[in-house]
Amino acid sequence: MFKKQDEEFDEMAADPTRRRAKIADLSWRRTLIGCCALVIMVAALAEMWSGGKGAISGVFAAAISWGIFIKHESDLRLLRVIERLQKPPV
């Protein structure tokens, strides 16, 4: 199902220049998505406490945002490990 994306990720991870650029990009995206997820979660909790009917959609949106955040975090960690393993020993 995700074979093409896996192949693209493997090619990018093997190229040091593209890998460093992707690490910088994922770091920025992870921070942005984390902040958005936090804001959505706080808004959903405020809606729940006020007794609003839209709380369930806010909770769903927060869950999806946190899922995307976790995906970016795992990709970033994997690329950082590859980066450390590719460095020559001193």
Determine if the pTM surpasses 0.75. Answer: yes
Residue 81 to residues 19, 37, 49, 58, 78: CA-CA distances in angstroms?
Answer: 11, 26, 42, 35, 5
pLDDT mean over 6-22: 87
- d(C-alpha 70, C-alpha 5), whole Å: 17
For 49, the token pair is 């406490």
pLDDT score, position 3? 83
Task: Say which residue, 11 or 89, is predicted with more confidence.
Answer: 11
* Confidence at residue 87, expressed as pLDDT on a 0 to 100 scale: 80
Determine contact, residues 49/59, Cβ cutoff 8 Å. no
Amino acid 60: pLDDT: 92
pLDDT tens for each residue of 41-81: 999 889 888 887 778 888 899 999 999 999 999 999 999 99
DSSP 3-state of 23: helix
